[in-house]
Structure 1
Amino acid sequence: MIANPNGADRRAVVVGAGIAGLTAAIALRQRGWQVEVLERAAAVEAAGSGLSLWPNGLRGLDVIGVGAEVREQSLAATEGGMRDTAGRWLSRTDIAELRDRYGDLVVIHRTRLSEILHDALGTVPRFGCPVDAVEFTAHGVRVRHSAGTTEADLVLGADGINSTIRTALWPRARPPIYAGYTAWRTIVVPAGPVDSGGETLGRGQRVGIAPLRDGRVYLFATANLPAGQHSPGDELGEVRRRFGSWHDPIPALLDAADPEAILRHDIYELPPLRTYIRERAVLLGDAAHAMTPNLGQGANLAVEDAVTLAALLDRIPDIPTALAEYDRVRRARVRPLARLSRRMGTALQLALPAATPVRNAVLRLTPDSAALRALGPVLSWEPPA
């Protein structure tokens, strides 16, 4: 954890109390900034899903002093990889080797991570406080919100894929686009232990299993469907019809699922922005670069954004110059990963009868060690000094 007075007398408004916003607020406060966090939701919303924190994201959390607490949520090495619908392995990930090569991997309940970050922040965000307008002044920025007006040196838009800040200040930015598939997510309390995780690939649909430290299981599934084609009131029934005959333990996990706890979201991604900054405003996380979830890097890149921004603001006294450097390094980092995630989604969601056996054969023939090496550019990121 870094404590530094270089941000003394500087003020920031962080819009959004998700992973990007909380991490940035913590990092700036540790450097002496006065930070106000505005969140449009009325309260912390319970999340019914898990997320993966890879070595790069955990290094970022180390910077703000919560990495060790997050690592306590880690499981001992479990099986990982990809299978076909009968349960035959297409590829395997050696979790122990991954940890030896790159660092720890943690699958954590999203709500637990939020609790850890809120505790580290030490103050309560201003909930139920949507932003109405952002105006640039001679020396900073004025944020008008439902509780009044805040004058600051900098505003951080960390308010997700449908960012209010991006809409207001990047009016020519293209809106999010549908990736072509929908996703169901839930947390399941299984009847017995589940020691094996990974993804199972079918034709145009797949299932993912991620055991959590407390014995629960994060379960997700995807299917190629038109946007908005939901099954109100019977999402679990839809998932069971699609995946209930797949290999164990998928049927048992679906039997144990709570119908009221099934989340359903169509998958969208944000077209690349020409810049993440405008005068004294900066975008972080999904507000800047929401991508498909196939790399499992959304939360990790949000953490990277936050600690990189704080480090550069600490290192470079002139705020516009620091923001320009943030824009340069983060777009160079994120854009290739967004393209890679999109390509992965295309391959994993293949639906043509002739194409899926070819994909599966390629996965079987690819050495597991080669797949592990390919993760290097993603997982080897280090925080700025």
Structure 2
Amino acid sequence: MNRPTSRRPPRAVVVGGGIGGLTAAVALHQADWHVTVLERAEALAPVGAGIGLAPNSQRALDVIGLGDRVRELAAWQGDGGLRDPAGRWLNRTGSDATAKRFGGPLVLLHRATLVGILTSALPAGTVRTGAPAELTDAGDDRRAAVVTTPDGPLRADLVVAADGIGSAVRRTLFPGHPGPRYSGFTTWRVVVPAPERPFTPHETWGRGALWGTQPLKDGRVYAYAAALAPAGGRAPDDEKAELLRRFGDWHDPVPDVIAAAGPGGVLRHDVHHMAEPLPAYHRGRVALLGDAAHAMQPTLGQGGNQAIEDAIVLAHHAGRGQDVVGRLPAYTEERLPRTMGIVRQATRTGRLAMLSGAGPVAARNALIRAVSRLGPGIVLRGFDGIADWQPPGRTYAAGAEPTTAPR
């Protein structure tokens, strides 16, 4: 019988070297686990451009002592908000109001920067790139889980499945689940030098399309766009030209940002989300996190944030390796309702943002303006229960008080 090892430290294998997987690796390493991260790609070169870390994920990173390093990268100061394509403001929200309500700033940073912060907290050799992995045994309370690699099998007390929206581990654990479905729109992302003319951070909602321009600490800007489109569609020429066709006549600085994009510098991905929840986020000795468990639309900016939360909560429940199988149900119980609630809220926001009829769009914009006149706090209430989340366990942020329970 293939029994789990009795030696200490316990062994964890993380499948996937993205943000959620690396956060889990750091958290488990700090809890005295022996951790191996298996990343299929040949290098940790993150797909994507920017990521917004809200106060909830920053507090999660506080648990592993990295939250303050992220906060130092905050670039948004002053006003920002929601506009229409002509540049008229639908809602104004200041960075101070956001920080005051949720206990911290919104930090925009390049994904590669965050990956660097996380990997710097891991021992050399923890991450193996060019290492595809297959779950061949989920294990149970009597035997270890087994992950097969080209170099041979790895036995583990815990397997963390952080292998993304197309998760092979998820399909192995729950073969009857339909998986993520297409949300009806596609996205573009780009990082370019900041325009010469100053701009106010914004998201702009049009008819079946949106655009966002946000500053990064290093002097560049992260811009993102979305539009209704058939699944699998691609531009007949290139994606920069597609952005010009769709957004080239929108307000400043949108045309300048598009013009600054280099050839091939625009990323495009269709958006999928987990409309039907999984039965659980664990089975045997395996736990799913991030997009592998609860892919969501980017309309609340919470996909990466929730993966970071998952990682910290999973490490909290995994403890120091004793009775992992008996402790994983608590991870599902804590994370599944919260994350699927955010999946549903993001889907509702996506429907609102992607309205395409002239009448519905005019009514939406009028409603947003009317609500905004009651004060910025009214709009920010949409993130109550999300951005104000507190992690379990002790935190290590400068001056932070220990936390004891999630919200």
TM-score range, shorter-chain basis? over 0.9
Amino acid at match of 1:292: Q
Amino acid at match of 1:243: F
Q: CA deviation at 1:248?
A: 0.8
Q: Name which of 361, 365, 368 aligns with 2:366.
A: 361
Amino acid at match of 1:131: A
Match of 2:337 in 1: 332
Amino acid at match of 1:370: I
Match of 1:226 in 2: 230
The answer (yes or no) to whether the contact 1:78–1:195 under 8 Å persists in 2 is no
Amino acid at match of 1:78: G
CA distance 1:76–1:356, change in 2 (3 Å): closer
TM-score, length-normalised on structure 1? 0.95
1:14 matched to 2:14? The reply is yes
CA distance 1:76–1:357, change in 2 (3 Å): closer
1:84-143 Cα deviation digits (max 9, x unpaired): 111010011121011122122100111110111111123341111111342144322111
Amino acid at match of 1:169: L
Q: CA deviation at 1:279?
A: 0.8
Matches within 5 A, 1:297-312: 297-312=302-317
1:348-372 Cα deviation digits (max 9, x unpaired): 0000121100000010011322112
CA distance 1:174–1:362, change in 2 (3 Å): same
Amino acid at match of 1:105: L
The answer (yes or no) to whether the contact 2:158–2:285 under 8 Å persists in 1 is yes
TM-score, length-normalised on structure 2? 0.90
Q: Name which of 126, 129, 135 aligns with 1:127.
A: 129
1:181-236 Cα deviation digits (max 9, x unpaired): 01111001134154411211111011111111111111111110101110154110
Matches within 5 A, 1:141-290: 141-192=145-196, 194-231=198-235, 233-271=237-275, 272-290=277-295
1:127-184 Cα deviation digits (max 9, x unpaired): 1111134214432211111221111111110010001111122111112210000111
Amino acid at match of 2:21: G
Match of 1:3 in 2: none
Unaligned 5+ residue runs, structure 2?
1-6, 394-407
The answer (yes or no) to whether the contact 1:209–1:218 under 8 Å persists in 2 is yes
The answer (yes or no) to whether the contact 1:58–1:104 under 8 Å persists in 2 is no
Amino acid at match of 1:346: R
The answer (yes or no) to whether the contact 2:184–2:229 under 8 Å persists in 1 is yes
Match of 1:97 in 2: 97
The answer (yes or no) to whether the contact 2:15–2:159 under 8 Å persists in 1 is yes
* Separation in structure 2 between the aligned mates of residue 194 and residue 292 of structure 1, nearest angstrom: 30
The answer (yes or no) to whether the contact 1:13–1:35 under 8 Å persists in 2 is yes
* Separation in structure 1 between the aligned mates of residue 237 and residue 245 of structure 2, nearest angstrom: 14
1:244-289 Cα deviation digits (max 9, x unpaired): 1111111111111112210010111123111111111110111100
Aligned residues, how many? 379
The answer (yes or no) to whether the contact 2:199–2:253 under 8 Å persists in 1 is no
* Separation in structure 1 between the aligned mates of residue 26 and residue 257 of structure 2, nearest angstrom: 37
The answer (yes or no) to whether the contact 2:63–2:312 under 8 Å persists in 1 is yes
The answer (yes or no) to whether the contact 1:37–1:126 under 8 Å persists in 2 is yes
CA distance 1:280–1:79, change in 2 (3 Å): same
Q: CA deviation at 1:46?
A: 4.8
* Separation in structure 1 between the aligned mates of residue 14 and residue 353 of structure 2, nearest angstrom: 36
SS in 2 for 1:52: strand
CA distance 1:332–1:48, change in 2 (3 Å): closer
Match of 1:140 in 2: 144
* Separation in structure 1 between the aligned mates of residue 321 and residue 45 of structure 2, nearest angstrom: 36
Unaligned 5+ residue runs, structure 1?
1-6
Amino acid at match of 1:132: E
The answer (yes or no) to whether the contact 2:76–2:201 under 8 Å persists in 1 is no
CA distance 1:63–1:232, change in 2 (3 Å): farther
SS in 1 for 2:347: helix
* Separation in structure 2 between the aligned mates of residue 193 and residue 154 of structure 1, nearest angstrom: 51
Amino acid at match of 1:356: V
Runs of 4 or more above 3 Å deviation: none
Amino acid at match of 1:347: L
Q: Name which of 387, 392, 398 aligns with 1:379.
A: 387
Of residues 261-270 and 7-16 in structure 1, the stretch that sits farther from structure 2 once superposed is 7-16
Q: CA deviation at 1:81?
A: 1.3
SS in 1 for 2:22: helix
Q: CA deviation at 1:79?
A: 2.3
* Separation in structure 2 between the aligned mates of residue 54 and residue 309 of structure 1, nearest angstrom: 20
Q: CA deviation at 1:80?
A: 1.8
* Separation in structure 2 between the aligned mates of residue 80 and residue 191 of structure 1, nearest angstrom: 16
Q: CA deviation at 1:383?
A: 0.6
Amino acid at match of 2:224: F
Match of 2:324 in 1: 319
CA RMSD after TM alignment:
1.6
The answer (yes or no) to whether the contact 2:50–2:108 under 8 Å persists in 1 is yes
* Separation in structure 2 between the aligned mates of residue 194 and residue 213 of structure 1, nearest angstrom: 14
Of residues 64-73 and 75-84 in structure 1, the stretch that sits farther from structure 2 once superposed is 75-84
* Separation in structure 1 between the aligned mates of residue 361 and residue 228 of structure 2, nearest angstrom: 14
Amino acid at match of 1:214: D
Q: Name which of 340, 350, 359 aligns with 2:355.
A: 350
Match of 1:295 in 2: 300
